[in-house]
Amino acid sequence: MLAPRYAYNGYGCSGGNVSPALRWSGAPEEARSYAVTVHDPDAPRTGGWWHWLVVDIPADVTRLRQGASSGRIPEGAVETRTSFGSPGYGGPCPPQGDAPHRYRFMVRALDTDKLGVSPDASPAEVLKRLRAHTLARARTTAKYSR
């Protein structure tokens, strides 16, 4: 279960909206960059809800510190628009009374240094490009309810 400090602060939620620390290893040697995404497939919306998309993470970076979305993402990385409508981390905020939602944290090793998207790119555009450049991926799932 995700702690309240990682939950959204808005839409009736009162979390800290702090992005969690993430660490990865074992990527293919040919990885030239990474991308990290957070998705809620249980959101009451077609296609779920995108909470965080970070691309162009340099290949020599293998972690994001807690709070990285607060102006501390690695140099050269780009946060793109989420389902909240703006770039940056937006924590969990499932509807009151719902069963716990799943939050899928995925890191992808990419075959390109730069994905070529702007911070205003939509999740659909980012995902289309990620699919075309993914060498390997790993996922962990956390839950949150209120």
Contact 112, 134 (CB under 8 A): no
Contact 77, 57 (CB under 8 A): yes
- Please give the CATH number for the structural domain made up of 4-17+29-144: 3.90.280.10
Distance of CA 80 to the CA centre of its chain: 9
pLDDT for 107 equals 98
pTM: 0.96
The ranges assigned to domains in the chain are 4-17+29-144
pLDDT in tens, 61-112: 999 999 999 889 999 999 999 999 999 999 999 999 999 999 999 999 999 9
pLDDT for 71 equals 87
Q: What is the mean pLDDT of the chain?
A: 97
